[in-house]
C-alpha cells in the first residue's frame, strides 16, 4: 500500500515537474508544422503508389526533375526545373534530354546524378505498378554523362514533361539497393523510408498515426523555418476540427462540404477554396444490357438533377460540368449548355428502349465519405422518379475489384487530372485500352474516339491536339457512357499564423513547407 | 498424480483452443471479400502484376495447402508479412506493444487502486449510503461503454476545459525519449527528460482512466463481497475483541484473505484490457497494438489481423492456465478433486 501511495503521489506531482521547460516546448511547437490528414498512408515508395494521400512525405523528401508552376491555387500548365537545369526535345522528335542542376545531394550526402535518374525510372518500370502506367510510352532512360540524361519514348509525347512533374516521378538514391530483399528492388524498405534529395526526410512513422519529417542536412533547398513536420492521421472529421480549433494541428486536410461553412467561421482559421478538376460521375456499364443502348444512358442522364446534387449534397462547394472536361483544362467549352433534368423525355426514352417501370439496377460504390453516400442516395431517389428501382451496394475498397472487372450495372466514379491537359481524363476515362483496371470504368469503347485520343496523345502541335480532343469530346458527349455530376472544390483550412503557403488545389496534400513560416517569425 | 493429469489435460486443451483459433481466423480471413494480391499489388496494378503477386503469396494454392503452410510458418514464429508494409507482422506488433502495455498497466494500477480502496471501504460500511453509492458507481463502470466514456472525458477535459491533452502519447512538437523499455514515462524518467515525462503522463491520464473506470467496477464488487464474507468470520471478531486496532485487522488480516479470489480475476482482467484497448486506443489515437489492428482491419491486412487474434487468444488461454495452476496451489481441494 505504501508503494502504491508513493507512485500515486509521484503521478499527481508530475505536472509540476517540468515547469521550467515550458519555453523550450513552446519554441519547439512553433517550429513544428502539424498537418491533420483524413486518411493514413499505406506506403511512401514512389514506385508503387498513385494515391494522393501517400504523396505528402514523398513530395517533401524527394525531388523531381520538373515541378508544376502554381498560381492562385491552381497549376498554370507550365513547368519549372526542380532537379533539371534545362530540358529539350531531342532531334528525333520523341526523346527528351535533361541536364541536371549541380550540387543537389541525397540525404546521405551523395550527388544526384544521371545514373540515379536512370535507376529511379527503370525501377518504376520494372515494378510495373500504378506509376508505371503513366510511363507506358517510355522505352529507355540513358545516362549520357553525370549530368545529362535522355528519356527515349516509343512515340512523340508533348505531355511528357508534365508527367515528369507528377509526385511519384522522383529521383531515388540508388544506394537503397543495399536494402533489397530478393528481387524486390528495395520495395519493402522504401515503403517506410525515404532516400531522396528533398528538403526533408522521414524520421519516423507510427503506422496509422503519424509520420515525422526532419530537415535533410544536404538538401539544396534547406527549410526556411519549420524544423519538424508531423503528418498526423485523424480520420474522424469532428476530431480533426477540434484539434484545429485548439491549435493542435496547423493544417486541416479533408474539409468536407458539410462542415466547410462552420470551419470558415472559426476564429484564427482560414478556409481556402478553389475549383478542381476532380469529377464525380455516374458510370454505366456499357458492356452490359441495357446500358449498351444509348437511349437508356441518355434517359438516366436526363433523369438526374445535377444542380440539386451540387447544392444539396455538396452544399454548393462544387461546380457543374456541362461537357466532359472541367474548367481549367484546354478543350473545356464554357458555352456548353447545362444539362437540365427532363423526366418526361427520360421516361419516353426508357419506354422506347423497352425498359419496364420498376426495373431494378444496382449502384455499386465504395462509401468513402458521407458525400459519396449522399450522392448515391440522391441518385437512387432521382432515378426512382423516372421509374427505375436502384439498389445500393456498398463495397469495401478491396471489393471494388469486381467493378474493375466489369461486374456491375452502375458505379460512382471519381476521376481527376493533376495538370491542365485533357490527356489524363480523356485517355484514362474513355480510351478502350484502359477499360476496367485502367479506370475507364464504364468500359466505353469507340474506335473513332480511340483513334482521336491516340493521335492527340502524340500530336506535338498544341492547336491540333486541342482540336482532336474537342472532336473526341463531342462524340463522348453524344454517347454519354458517364453522367458527370459535378467537379468538387478543393477545401483546406489552416491556422492564420501559418504563412507562405503556396497550395495547389489540383494536387492536395503537397506543400511548400520549406518556404513556409509561422506568424511574424519570418526568417 | 491427479493434479499432473489435470495439468496435462489442460495443456492439451490449451493447444486445441489455439489450433481452433488459427483455423477459424484463417478460414474467415480467406472468405472475406477482397483480394490480398490486388491489395499488395496496388490499386491500379495490371492483371499480370496481380497474378505474379498471388503466386508469390501462395494464394494460387488450395486452401488446405495454404493453411498447412501457415501452421508450419507459425510453429517457427513466422506470422507472415503485412500486406500493407511488407514487414513481418510480429515485428510490427512488437514495435507498438510497449505503448499498449504502458496504457494497460497504468489502467490496471488505477482500477486496482480504486477497486481495492473503495471495495474495502464499502465492505466496512456495509449497508450504509456510502456502500450504496459505491455499488451504484461500480454498476455504472461495468455498464458504460468505453467508447462513450472516452469521448465524454475527451470532450470535457480537452475540448471544454482544455486542461489535458487530447490524443496521442506525446505532444507532436516533442521527440520521444530514446527507447529503453518502450514506456515513454519510464524512459523519460530514466533519462531525466522531465518535460517529456510530464507530457507523457498527461497524455496517459485520460485513456488510462477510461480503461480503468470501465474495469474497476468488477474488481470492486469482488473485493467488497469477499471482504464482507471475511469480516464476518470468527477469527476477525476474535481479533477485534482482543484489542488489535481495527485498521490492522482490516488490512493485515481480512484484506489478505479477501484478495485470494481477486488475484485470480486480476489475470483475466489484464487479458480483457488487451481487447478493451482497441476501442480506447482508437478514440485517443494511442499508437498501440489496438490502433494497429484496427488499421489492419480497415486495410484488410489479413496477416496482421490473424497475428493479433492468435496472440491475444494465446494470452487468454495461458492466463487461464496460470489461474488454474494458481488455484491448485492455493486451494488443496482442487488438487484433490481434479
Higher pLDDT among residues B54 and B288, named by residue: B288
What pLDDT is recorded for position A158?
A: 92
Domain assignment present for residue A279? The answer is: yes
Among chain B residues, CA nearest to A207: B292
Among chain B residues, CA nearest to A47: B42
Averaged pLDDT, B30-34: 69
In this complex, which of B34, B113, B158 lies closest to A396 when CB atoms are compared? B34
**Is there a single domain that holds both residue A139 and residue A42?**
yes
Considering chain B, what is the average pLDDT of its residues?
A: 84
Q: What residues of chain A lie within 8 A of the CB of B81, using their CB?
A: 188
The answer to whether B44 contacts A130, with C-beta atoms less than 8 Å apart, is yes
**A107-124 pLDDT, tens per residue?**
999 999 999 999 999 999
Helical packing angle, B146-153 and B255-283, nearest 10°: 70
In this complex, which of B33, B46, B158 lies closest to A437 when CB atoms are compared? B46
**Is there a single domain that holds both residue A133 and residue A164?**
yes
The answer to whether A246 contacts B299, with C-beta atoms less than 8 Å apart, is no
**B110-150 pLDDT, tens per residue?**
999 999 999 999 998 888 999 999 999 989 888 898 889 99
**Is there a single domain that holds both residue A203 and residue A175?**
yes
Percent of chain A with pLDDT over 70: 95
Q: Considering its fold, how many domains does chain A have in total?
A: 2
Q: What residues of chain A lie within 8 A of the CB of B295, using their CB?
A: 40, 207-208
Residue B29, pLDDT above cutoff 80? no
Domain assignment present for residue A385? The answer is: yes
In this complex, which of A1, A191, A232 lies closest to B86 when CB atoms are compared? A191
**Is there a single domain that holds both residue A300 and residue A245?**
no
User: What band does A62 get if pLDDT is binned at 50, 70 and 90?
Assistant: very high
Residue B16, pLDDT above cutoff 60? yes
**Is there a single domain that holds both residue A135 and residue A246?**
yes
Among chain A residues, CA nearest to B110: A8
Residue B63, pLDDT above cutoff 90? no
Rounded Cα gap, residues A491 and A272, in angstroms: 6
Q: B174 to chain A nearest CA, in Å?
A: 7
- Between chain A and chain B, the number of residue pairs with CB atoms below 8 A apart is 137
> CB of A49 within 8 Å of any CB in chain B?
yes
**Is there a single domain that holds both residue A50 and residue A117?**
yes
**Cβ-contact A415, A281 below 8 angstroms:** yes
Q: B84 to chain A nearest CA, in Å?
A: 6
**Is there a single domain that holds both residue A100 and residue A217?**
yes
Helix (H, G, I), strand (E, B) or coil at A32: strand
* β-bridge mates for residue A281, sequence order: A413, A484
Interface of A with B in 288-307 (CB under 8 A): none
What top-level class would CATH report for the domain B96-298? Answer: mainly alpha
Rounded Cα gap, residues A166 and B130, in angstroms: 68
- Per-residue DSSP letter, B42: -
What pLDDT is recorded for position B338?
A: 45
Contacts 24+ apart (CB under 8 A), B45-49: B45/A128, B45/A129, B45/A130, B45/A437, B46/A128, B46/A437, B47/A437, B48/A128, B49/A128, B49/A129
Domain assignment present for residue A220? The answer is: yes
- Number of C-alpha atoms within 13 angstroms, CB side, residue A188? 14
Domain assignment present for residue A4? The answer is: no
Domain with A350, as residue range(s), is 274-489
The answer to whether B38 contacts A398, with C-beta atoms less than 8 Å apart, is yes
Higher pLDDT among residues A472 and A323, named by residue: A472
Helix (H, G, I), strand (E, B) or coil at A304: coil
User: What band does A143 get if pLDDT is binned at 50, 70 and 90?
Assistant: very high
In this complex, which of B44, B159, B168 lies closest to A437 when CB atoms are compared? B44
Buried b (16+ CB within 10 A) or exposed e, B277-316: bbbbbbbbbbbbbbbbbbbbeebbbbbbbbbbbbbbbeeb
What pLDDT is recorded for position A212?
A: 95
The answer to whether A208 contacts B291, with C-beta atoms less than 8 Å apart, is yes
**Is there a single domain that holds both residue A422 and residue A462?**
yes
Q: B2 to chain A nearest CA, in Å?
A: 38
**B151-174 pLDDT, tens per residue?**
999 999 998 898 999 888 999 999
**Is there a single domain that holds both residue A151 and residue A296?**
no
Q: A38 to chain B nearest CA, in Å?
A: 13
Among chain B residues, CA nearest to A244: B159
**A358-405 pLDDT, tens per residue?**
999 999 999 888 889 999 999 999 999 999 999 999 987 767 878 888
The answer to whether A209 contacts B294, with C-beta atoms less than 8 Å apart, is no
Cβ within 8 Å of residue A225, ≥6 positions away: A31, A516, A517, A518, A521, A522, A523
In Å, what is the CA distance from B288 to each residue of A55, A61, A466, A509, B95?
A: 25, 27, 53, 26, 9
Q: What residues of chain A lie within 8 A of the CB of B308, using their CB?
A: none
Q: A31 to chain B nearest CA, in Å?
A: 8
Among chain A residues, CA nearest to B93: A207
**Is there a single domain that holds both residue A218 and residue A325?**
no
The answer to whether A188 contacts B41, with C-beta atoms less than 8 Å apart, is no
Rounded Cα gap, residues A405 and A287, in angstroms: 11
**A324-337 pLDDT, tens per residue?**
888 888 888 888 88
User: What band does B332 get if pLDDT is binned at 50, 70 and 90?
Assistant: low
**Is there a single domain that holds both residue A231 and residue A314?**
no
The CATH number of whichever domain residue A284 belongs to comes to 3.10.105.10
Q: How deeply is A92 buried, as exposed, middle or buried, from its count of CB atoms within 10 A (0-12, 13-18, 19+)?
A: exposed
Domain assignment present for residue A392? The answer is: yes
What pLDDT is recorded for position A88?
A: 94
What pLDDT is recorded for position B302?
A: 81
Domain assignment present for residue A433? The answer is: yes
**Is there a single domain that holds both residue A39 and residue A136?**
yes
Amino acid at each position: 500500500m505504501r508503494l502504491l501511495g508513493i507512485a500515486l503521489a509521484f503521478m499527481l506531482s508530475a505536472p509540476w515537474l517540468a515547469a521550467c521547460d515550458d519555453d523550450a516546448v513552446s519554441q519547439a511547437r512553433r517550429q513544428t508544422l502539424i498537418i491533420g490528414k483524413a486518411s493514413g498512408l499505406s506506403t511512401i515508395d514512389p514506385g508503387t503508389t498513385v494515391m494522393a494521400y501517400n504523396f505528402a512525405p514523398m513530395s517533401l523528401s524527394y525531388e523531381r526533375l520538373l515541378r508544376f508552376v502554381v498560381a492562385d491555387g491552381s497549376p498554370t500548365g507550365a513547368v519549372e526545373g526542380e532537379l533539371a537545369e534545362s530540358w529539350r526535345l531531342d532531334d528525333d522528335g520523341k526523346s527528351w534530354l535533361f541536364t541536371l542542376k549541380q550540387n543537389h545531394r541525397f540525404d546521405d550526402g551523395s550527388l544526384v546524378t544521371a545514373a540515379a535518374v536512370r535507376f529511379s525510372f527503370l525501377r518504376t518500370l520494372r515494378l510495373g505498378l500504378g506509376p508505371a502506367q503513366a510511363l507506358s510510352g517510355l522505352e529507355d532512360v540513358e545516362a549520357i554523362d553525370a549530368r545529362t540524361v535522355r528519356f527515349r519514348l516509343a512515340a512523340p509525347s508533348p505531355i511528357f514533361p508534365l508527367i515528369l512533374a507528377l509526385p511519384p516521378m522522383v529521383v531515388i538514391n540508388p544506394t537503397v539497393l543495399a536494402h533489397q530483399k530478393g528481387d524486390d528492388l528495395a520495395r519493402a524498405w522504401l515503403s517506410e523510408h525515404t532516400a531522396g534529395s528533398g528538403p526533408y526526410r522521414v524520421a519516423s512513422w507510427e503506422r496509422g498515426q503519424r509520420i515525422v519529417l526532419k530537415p535533410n542536412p544536404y538538401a539544396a533547398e534547406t527549410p526556411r523555418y519549420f524544423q519538424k513536420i508531423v503528418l498526423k492521421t485523424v480520420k474522424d472529421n469532428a476530431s480533426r476540427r477540434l484539434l484545429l480549433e485548439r491549435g493542435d494541428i496547423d493544417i486541416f486536410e479533408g474539409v468536407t462540404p458539410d462542415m466547410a461553412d462552420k470551419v470558415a467561421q472559426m476564429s484564427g482559421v482560414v478556409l481556402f477554396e478553389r475549383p478542381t478538376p476532380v469529377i464525380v460521375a455516374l458510370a454505366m456499364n456499357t458492356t452490359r444490357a441495357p446500358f449498351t443502348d444509348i437511349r437508356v444512358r441518355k434517359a438516366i442522364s436526363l433523369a438526374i438533377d445535377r444542380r440539386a446534387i451540387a447544392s444539396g449534397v455538396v452544399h454548393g462547394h462544387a461546380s457543374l460540368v456541362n461537357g466532359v472536361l472541367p474548367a481549367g483544362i484546354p478543350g473545356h467549352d464554357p458555352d456548353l449548355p447545362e444539362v437540365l433534368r427532363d423526366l418526361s423525355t427520360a421516361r419516353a426514352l426508357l419506354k422506347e428502349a423497352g425498359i419496364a417501370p420498376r426495373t431494378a439496377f444496382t449502384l455499386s460504390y465504395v462509401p468513402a465519405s458521407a458525400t459519396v453516400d449522399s450522392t448515391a442516395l440522391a441518385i437512387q431517389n432521382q432515378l426512382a422518379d423516372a421509374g427505375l428501382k436502384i439498389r445500393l451496394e456498398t463495397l469495401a475498397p478491396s471489393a471494388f475489384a469486381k467493378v474493375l472487372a466489369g461486374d456491375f450495372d452502375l458505379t460512382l466514379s471519381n476521376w481527376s487530372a493533376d495538370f491542365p491537359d485533357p490527356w489524363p481524363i480523356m485517355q484514362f476515362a474513355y480510351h478502350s485500352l484502359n477499360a476496367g483496371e485502367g479506370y475507364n470504368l464504364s468500359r466505353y469503347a469507340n474506335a473513332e474516339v480511340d483513334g482521336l485520343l491516340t493521335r492527340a496523345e502524340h500530336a506535338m502541335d498544341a492547336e491540333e491536339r486541342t482540336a482532336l480532343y474537342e472532336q473526341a469530346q463531342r462524340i463522348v458527349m453524344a454517347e454519354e457512357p458517364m453522367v458527370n455530376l459535378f467537379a468538387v472544390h478543393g477545401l483546406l483550412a489552416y491556422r492564420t499564423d501559418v504563412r507562405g503557403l503556396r497550395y495547389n488545389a489540383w494536387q492536395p496534400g503537397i506543400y511548400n513547407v520549406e518556404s513556409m513560416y509561422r506568424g511574424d517569425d519570418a526568417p | 498424480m491427479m493434479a499432473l493429469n489435470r495439468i496435462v489435460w489442460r495443456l492439451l486443451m490449451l493447444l486445441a483452443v489455439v489450433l481452433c483459433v488459427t483455423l477459424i481466423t484463417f478460414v474467415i480471413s480467406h472468405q472475406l471479400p477482397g483480394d490480398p494480391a490486388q491489395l499488395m499489388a496496388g490499386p491500379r496494378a495490371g492483371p499480370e502484376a496481380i497474378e505474379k503477386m498471388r503466386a508469390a503469396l501462395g494464394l494460387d494454392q488450395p486452401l488446405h495447402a495454404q493453411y498447412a503452410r501457415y501452421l508450419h510458418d507459425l510453429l517457427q514464429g513466422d506470422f507472415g508479412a503485412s500486406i500493407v508494409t511488407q514487414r513481418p507482422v510480429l515485428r510490427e506488433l512488437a514495435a507498438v506493444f510497449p505503448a499498449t502495455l504502458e496504457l494497460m498497466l497504468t489502467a490496471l494500477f488505477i482500477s486496482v487502486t480504486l477497486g481495492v480502496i473503495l471495495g474495502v471501504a464499502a465492505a466496512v460500511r456495509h449497508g450504509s449510503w456510502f456502500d450504496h453509492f459505491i455499488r451504484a458507481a461500480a454498476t455504472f463502470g461495468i455498464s458504460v461503454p468505453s467508447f462513450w466514456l472516452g469521448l465524454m472525458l475527451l470532450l470535457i477535459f480537452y475540448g471544454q476545459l482544455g486542461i489535458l491533452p487530447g490524443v496521442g502519447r506525446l505532444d507532436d512538437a516533442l521527440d520521444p525519449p530514446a527507447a529503453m523499455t518502450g514506456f515513454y514515462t519510464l524512459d523519460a524518467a530514466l533519462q531525466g527528460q522531465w518535460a517529456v515525462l510530464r507530457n507523457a503522463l498527461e497524455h496517459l491520464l485520460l485513456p488510462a482512466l477510461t480503461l480503468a473506470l470501465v474495469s474497476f467496477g468488477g474488481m470492486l464488487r469482488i473485493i467488497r463481497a469477499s471482504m464482507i464474507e471475511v469480516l464476518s468470520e470468527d477469527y476477525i471478531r476474535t481479533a477485534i475483541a482482543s484489542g488489535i486496532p481495527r485498521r490492522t485487522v482490516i488490512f493485515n488480516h481480512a484484506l489478505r484473505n479477501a484478495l485470494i479470489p481477486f488475484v485470480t480475476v486480476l489475470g483475466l482482467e489484464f487479458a480483457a484490457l488487451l481487447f478493451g484497448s482497441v476501442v480506447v486506443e482508437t478514440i485517443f489515437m494511442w499508437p498501440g497494438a489496438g490502433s494497429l489492428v484496427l488499421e489492419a482491419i480497415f486495410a484488410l491486412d489479413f496477416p496482421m489481423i490473424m497475428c493479433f487474434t492468435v496472440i491475444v487468444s494465446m494470452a487468454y488461454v495461458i492466463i487461464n492456465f496460470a489461474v488454474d495452476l494458481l488455484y491448485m496451489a492455493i486451494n488443496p481441494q482442487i488438487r484433490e478433486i481434479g
